[in-house]
Amino acid sequence: MSQETKYTEDNIRSLDWKEHIRMRPGMYIGKLGDGSSADDGIYILLKEVLDNSIDEYVMGAGKTIEISIHGSKVIVRDYGRGIPLGKVVDVVSKMNTGGKYDSKAFKKSVGLNGVGTKAVNALSSFFRVESTRDNKSASAEFEQGNLINQELLEDTSRRKGTKVSFVPDEIIFKNYKFRSEYVEKMLKYYVYLNPGLTIVFNGEKFYSENGLKDLLSENINETDRAYPIIHLRGDDIEIALTHSKTQYSEQYHSFVNGQNTTQGGTHLAAFREALVRTIREYFGKNYEASDIRKSVVCAIAIKVMEPVFESQTKTKLGSTDMGGELPTVRTYVNDFLKTYLDNFLHKNTDVAESIQRKILQAERERKELSGIRKLAKDRAKKANLHNKKLRDCRVHFGDTKNERNLETTLFITEGDSASGSITKSRDVNTQAVFSLKGKPLNCYGLSKKIVYENEEFNLLQAALNIEESIEDLRYNNIVIATDADVDGMHIRLLLITFFLQFFPEIIKEGHLYILQTPLFRVRNKKETIYCYSEEERISAIEKLKPKPEITRFKGLGEISPDEFVHFIGEDIRLDPVMLDKDMSIDELLSFYMGKNTPTRQEFIIDNLKVELDIIEEESK
């Protein structure tokens, strides 16, 4: 029998505010990450600071926010009212301290728990806050949440407002890098939700006049819209919607008090329900809900008094009431849509006819696919999906609404050896593995029917749970893990084509990545260095003089599970798959996967020459 562990007063300890945040950062900012994902912690830090500036704008103070990010240093400057000077230190270093507890000062604010900037402070190696108001200024500097300096200036000519500077702590966020694409997307959401607000990021201005209509215009090409965007506004709600001509599943952008609720919540559930009810009543037809919502692209934003979210990162609304004397969220959204959308359709019968055509088209396709779907589901069961093709993670065992869903990753691999190595070295709690058998089909130009007829696509769709909507997506991160050779690159391209053709919102919403694995291992008796490029290999050889042992990894299967754990753990390197905003999906697929062979060959030759010129120049 093992010796009993002692449990005494010595085992009881109290942590101060910053110690608790640094010890359990996930409780405050979700996952950590290195900046390769839009929901990584460094962007949450920026959001927490920015939310305060946005709240100032909402309250009518300050129309411009300036942001700069150079390297690891972030600076956010607003021209709002400024923090009361005597409380500058307290609001960034004392838990449960802030002006947003007073509903008179902040009626419909994003941050209501007094944690945001405290978390940023505690998780930064450098943090400085400066407030100016009434021609006076107060500032405070911190390191890892510890106050190191503070000043009070009696007279200043600076404009009123607040300036926050911080550097995320490399001890917490390892090897991180801010990606401007993710920052810009966040800032665009802020200006869409706050028409009239100007945000300047590294000299570039972001501004919107038409709110959520501009958001949808940015996210769905005009040629792909089944009808012009419907834009509806109320006192505490705004909706923009259309249907896609080519997209199969539903796509939503949802917001509460300016917060992007990526996991939806009560307001989005209410909208999906209300849309079906309103359409049925308008046409006097009991259409299937899935036919009405198929291919819908929508943005919805509501304002709620003192919202309750299901996690500190505020990605899912839990509130059932709008607050004050207003009705429930469900009733409010339903009544709004019933009135405003119904009125719009009666005034715009051409749009109503387009919607009906989309519904009838979806109905025909559903009936045509019904038999194939049943066979596909039977095949999935016979394939024993959860034991052979998919090795799931524990987060999905039991409660599928586990808060750790944000941490879940599905690795898509090819071949038994590669999938075996990843399976043995993965974190079984949050990482799952899906094994491909050979190269996937080039599905460019094919209909959704192929997804059910092709075994690989059918099983992959079932594993991801994205048949109807990506709101049901089982994994936050989908990682293509193939060999870094010609065959591996080809498989990557075919998988990306699959997602672009049938589920482009997976890529648009930042869920798809490419796993980087080392090309070389350079080691001597004392040290091992894994190299992801020829430059890193040369640098490692110089560092480990005299002649070290050099291994070239030809495939993932050659990397042992003991080594693989380093490449899919804390030091994982992911390249996000992003869309070129200047090229439509149709143009993209047509160019890379279509039959324009001479044009594509010319493109490859030209770009290969550029790459060779760069290599030659660097070698001189």
The structure's pTM equals 0.79
- Domain endpoint, select from 206, 234, 262: 206
Per-residue pLDDT of 328-366, as tens digits, reads: 888 889 999 999 999 999 999 999 999 999 999 999 988
Same domain, 531 and 562: no
Same domain, 358 and 467: no
Q: How many domains is the chain partitioned into structurally?
A: 4
Same domain, 189 and 200: yes
Partner residues linked to 396 by β-bridges: none
Pairing of strands 73-78, 64-70: antiparallel
Confidence band, pLDDT 50/70/90 cuts, at residue 18: confident
In a domain, 273, yes or no: yes
Residue 56 has pLDDT above 80, yes or no: yes
Same domain, 156 and 230: no
Cα separation of 32 and 566, whole Å?
A: 17
Same domain, 266 and 167: no
Tell me if 49 sits within 8 A of 91, measured CB to CB. no
Same domain, 415 and 564: yes
Per-residue pLDDT of 243-280, as tens digits, reads: 998 888 888 899 988 888 877 788 899 999 999 999 99
Same domain, 184 and 162: yes
Same domain, 193 and 341: no
Q: How remote is the C-alpha of 396 from its chain's centroid?
A: 20
In a domain, 585, yes or no: no
pLDDT greater at residue 65 or residue 251: 65
Backbone φ and ψ for 277, nearest 5 degrees, come out as: -65, -45
Task: Supply the CATH number for residue 489's domain.
Answer: 3.40.50.670
Per the structure, the complete domain to which residue 93 belongs is given by 17-206
In a domain, 564, yes or no: yes
The fraction of the chain above a pLDDT of 90, given in percent, is 33
Of 539, 559, 543, 561, residue with least CA distance to 551: 559
Q: Which amino acid is at 58?
A: V
Residue 36 has pLDDT above 60, yes or no: yes
Tell me if 274 sits within 8 A of 333, measured CB to CB. yes
Helix-strand-coil split of the chain, %, nearest 5: 40, 20, 35
Poorest-pLDDT segment among 100-114, 261-275, 315-329, 434-448: 100-114
Per-residue pLDDT of 192-213, as tens digits, reads: 999 999 999 999 999 999 999 9
Cα separation of 95 and 114, whole Å?
A: 6
Cα separation of 550 and 547, whole Å?
A: 9
